[in-house]
Amino acid sequence: MEGRYVVEINAGLASMSNPTISNEDLLKVKEWEIGMLQGELAASQGISIRRRPPTGPPPHYAGPFEYHLQNEGKTPCNILEEIIWYKDVEVSEMKKRKPLSMLKMLLDNAPPARDFVGALKAANSRTGVPGLIAEVKKASPSRGVMREDFDPLADIHIVTRIGHVLIAKAYEKGGAPCLSVLTDEKFFQGSFENLEAIRNSGVQCPLLCKEFIIDAWQIYYARVKGADAILLIAAVLPDLDIKYMVKICKLLGLAALVEVHNEREMDRVLALEGIELVGINNRDLGTFKVDISNTKTLLEGERGERIRERGIIVVGESGLFTPADIAYVQGAGVKAVSVIACLVLVGESIVKQKDPTAGIVGLFGTTWLKSLLYSILNRSSKHKLAFKHPHELVPFLEGPVLMQSNELPFSTALSNTCRLFSTHISYQLLAKTLDSCECRIVYVTRNPKDTLVSLWHFMNKRRGHQPWTINEAVDAFCYGVTPYGPYYDHVIGYRALYLKRPKNVMFVTYEEMKEDPHGHVKKLGDFLGCPFDGEEEVDEIVKNCSFEVLSSHEVNKSEQSLIKNLFPYNSFFRKGITGDHENYLSNEVIQRIDTLTKHRFHSLGFMYGI
């Protein structure tokens, strides 16, 4: 056939049956075949994610890959493959703008690498539980956008945005030994600028650059931007690439977290030298379904023994939402876990209750509300408020996470008809459960400015933590960096739940309760199905649960600590008044918060806190 040529490979050299083909074209054919050959090699190693096929074969090509071309898919098989194909193009363009020679010169000015592996080991040794790798993350293909207001480059004065630097600092203050920063832009809406900004902000936690590495150039780039560790995915990289990239990491002082999904990938990785960190991703790449038993499967038998003998740290990834999940993978041999934030350890299923009279306490002002609810449900007996702290009697759901326990504290139930417990967890994290459960929910919120001041005082009483200035607290509050998520999202979520399920949800404000405690105690009794027969009972509860009486009890003046020696009991009883923000916030700050409040609460149907 005219114009048709055949490529023959002899001793590693290509030749053409058509003598009119130039040496330049011959080289292009050879380069194309090498690309195809690399794909064949990867497939032979069980690599499930194909690299982007080389740009079209030469016209009328006939050769060893002819049949392969007729059957090769031209579109990605799954989301990870789509990401990798896009990454091929993206990295190629980035290398043109910043060649490797330029990156090597920039290494001299890069911040020193920190010990990522050592930080995880120290955390695990200190606490006895898996070390936390907290993720600074806006979005993912499987979960979509997680924070619409996540603006990593937001100006500090734009009060409706949240900065990733503040998130990272909050994770660090919360005790996370390591952080993971997503740098993929197209699919995860991250960037290397985020990584660089966090590193330059003074955050001391070692940083994992969570990027889809396909080229050694990316490792140098991550190091220049301040990474202390990088991610290598066995489903994407052939053995020789992993081996080569691990050596580059050691040369640059970086840790390499090698991620596996199945037994074959685990066996490939364990056959390599120099592996210190192995991540087990519990998400199936084909279906994107999650099964945490995958971790146990990959760590059983001989594989587990080899990992222990070599001192490899195993990191659990995907599907870890509850204390039971963490305990399960820890029992299998996991020494660290990678999660979106500390809150996800509680998950969505932890508060499923069938008891229609169970009470759940909401956010801010909870110490007083706990005392009231406890007294309402135990009015017929001599209760323990005089010598037990309210948070002991009405435990937090998230207590098992903070105390590293697997058991919910339902054994402290105070009534034969009701189990009373509390949470600060946002509605957004518990929506699937709270939309369908039959429990009664009492949600209390407080003026945002008083909430800010109260939270600032409370967090500064933590033992062993550097205190925040009031300006730092204001910025963090406006950016939504508070222990249980953004204040405004918290209130909006539970307000929406109240409007949707008014028979199951009671929504009150701290200010309303302070103005009319007698009336609200009666409303609480009616809501819980425990109405009062006379006014004397109500008056007695209001008196015994007043700030003056509660704060006078010796137990509530104690330096004894709640939650792993962090918060002394007396830190829960400061003033118990409204309007205290006027003593701490400037007019400028008050105006700033009021502007934010108007913007965020305009859809609630009431303008609260102005």
Element (H, E) at 360: strand 359-361
Dist. CA 595–CA 254, nearest whole Å: 44
- Rounded Cα distance between 77 and 287, Å, is 11
Query: Residue 470, class by beta-carbon neighbours within 10 Å (0-12 exposed, 13-18 middle, 19+ buried)?
Result: middle
Task: Please tell me the chain's helix, strand, coil percentages from 3-state DSSP, rounded to the nearest 5.
Answer: 45, 15, 40
Taking the C-alpha atoms of residue 250 and residue 253, their distance in angstroms, rounded to an integer, is: 5
Residues 380-397, buried b or exposed e (16+ Cβ, 10 A)?
eeebebeeebbbbbbbbb
What distance in Å separates the CA atoms of residue 346 and residue 429, rounded to the nearest whole number? 9
3-state secondary structure 384-441: CCCCCCHHHHCCECCHHHHCCCCCCCHHHCCCCCCCEEECCCCHHHHHHHHCCCCCEE
Catalytic residue among 164, 261, 391, 424: 424
Q: How far from 502 is each of 352, 373, 458, CA to CA, in Å?
A: 18, 19, 32
Beta strands at 567-568 and 561-562: parallel, antiparallel or unpaired? antiparallel
Distance of CA 71 to the CA centre of its chain: 41
Task: Give the CA distances from residue 445 to residues 257, 376, 451, 494, 608, in Å, rounded to whole numbers and listed in that order.
Answer: 42, 20, 9, 10, 10
Residue 487 to residues 247, 339, 513, Cα–Cα distance (Å): 46, 22, 19
Q: Are 196 and 229 in contact (CB under 8 A)?
A: no
If we measure between CA atoms, which residue out of 309, 305, 330 comes closest to residue 320? Answer: 330
CB atoms within 10 A of CB 13: 9
210-222: burial string, b at 16+ Cβ within 10 Å, e else: bbbbbbebbbbbb
Distance separating alpha carbons of residues 71 and 56, to the nearest angstrom: 14
The first and second tokens of residue 430, run together, are: 């518990």
Q: Which two tokens stand for residue 190?
A: 């991250």
Smallest CA-to-CA distance from 564 within 405, 410, 382, 412 is with 405
CA 276 to chain centre: 23
Clarify whether 424 is annotated catalytic. Answer: yes
Q: What is the 3-state secondary structure (H, E, C) of 280-335?
A: EECECCCCCCECCHHHHHHCCHHHHHHHHHHCCEEEEECCCCCHHHHHHHHHHCCC
The three-state DSSP-derived secondary structure of 127-192 is: HCCCEEEEEECCEECCCEECCCCECCCCCCCCCCCECHHHHHHHHHHCCCCEEEEECCCCCCCCCH
Residues recognised as catalytic = 424
